[in-house]
Structure 1
Amino acid sequence: MRYVSFLKDGKPCLGVREGKDIRVIGPVSLEQLLARGVDLNTYGREHATGETLDAAGIAYLPPLARPPKILCIGLNYADHTKESQYEQPDYPTIFLRVQTSLIAHQAPLVRPRVSDSLDFEGEIAVVMAKGGRHIDKEDALSHVAGYALFNEGSVREYQFKSPQWTVGKNFDGTGAFGPDLVTADELPPGARGLLLQTRLNGEVVQSASTDDMVFDVATLISVISEAMTLEPGDVIVTGTPSGIGWARTPRLMMQPGDVCEVIVEGLGTLRNPVVDERNA
């Protein structure tokens, strides 16, 4: 199923996408459903009402507005590691994002007033259904609720001010997330073999198969859970392929008026315009 979070009468609402329509479920969040342990593969079918809305007219919200944790993976595509001039690590590069950085499909990516180095990073996000500690790799995919698209906008100037990337990865309005949460049963196991592309103003700037991940989804879940307890609703953002603007000559940073899209077969398109913070 394809779950969509949106505003209805000014309040958060959940629905399921069916073609060009959204069937309304009601004022419940995916965070609440996952915390209750419901089966998202069937819940939407059983609880959607007869009310439908035109998907083109809704105001989207991120699939999860306040995930318990947002864990991001750096350097998870070898070609991106090379263009970033790092050695390929033999352990996942893990860092955190904060909830206040999240924006929805069609909402503006905000270039901060303190920097002009806002860069694109098209990625796939994993949403956890079941938590746990020391999760076996062989069992890891059974803990996945579904997948969504993510554009991990990075303020490069601030990312590289110190060895820790945290600030450059957490500016408000830079983490585009959505538009749908697609349940795991609708995709290949671990979302493998899917074409991931990022387009800036219609031009393809990143293109790779999810098979190219250095650490696949099951490995990431298992390794992360060695250190910390994963919880229902946690989000793992799995890394970006090569083609980032910072690594180009000349550099290709996102500018006000640009439109950035992340497209993955089976997941859809995440589209966001770019604005200056001064005008947001």
Structure 2
Amino acid sequence: MLSTGEPSESDPERESGDPTLTVRGLTKRYGDTVALQDVDLTVEEGEFVAVVGPSGCGKSTLLRVLSGLEESFGGRAAVDGVDVRDGGSDDVGMVFQEPRLLAWADVRENVAVGLPDGVDPDAPGAQERVNELIETVGLDGFAGSRPGELSGGMAQRVSLARGLAYRPEVLLLDEPFSALDQLTKYEQQDNLLEVWTERGTTIALVTHDVEEAAYLADRVLVLGGEPGTVATVIDVDTPRPRDRTHPEVVAARDAITDALGV
């Protein structure tokens, strides 16, 4: 079923059962420009939330705040109840729009970059971890390949594996499939769902693709305006696995499109 509503107003202090991600009254400025204003967002443990909105509404800025890359802002943003300005949680992984792989390093070495600080990538346990992730993202047989030998979809899989290397509780993804052709995008969306189902990771995905949001997410946060504010929140309760043409998925896509005013 499909419904719309505002984020819940639960206590922001972390207790058992409280949200993994909590944003309250988030306002972010760049000089005289206000990128986000009074944004509220709650993401429960293990939930898959998508964030959509037009260019310039602050979607990527929201992820940067949650990842700890932006330390100056108004309001509150917390991971596991710890304000991101106080260090947040170490259990946050980030996957960017571009794979950003090291051209001189092979797949195994690129994935190992995501291991926790102080972990020797040559240690047996670390090697086992890296090999497990390469298998998880479906790149068996390519561990020794360099980025120039990979397709765009394969490179993005390496980026996903690197983001998971820290064993993050929360995975933030900033339009990771936008540069892929449609068939490859579908394959990568399904691969992401498999990883999410297997690991129970909490995911926040920024995307311009309303079909992608409706197909992947449990809830869709629609941002609009300049500065970016929350226009609405759309719940997508369609059982999984989903069919992209299922009437409820189509209805969710249409509701997102309407909320964007497209």
TM-score by length of 1: 0.26
TM-score by length of 2: 0.27
Between structures 1 and 2, the one with greater helix share: 2
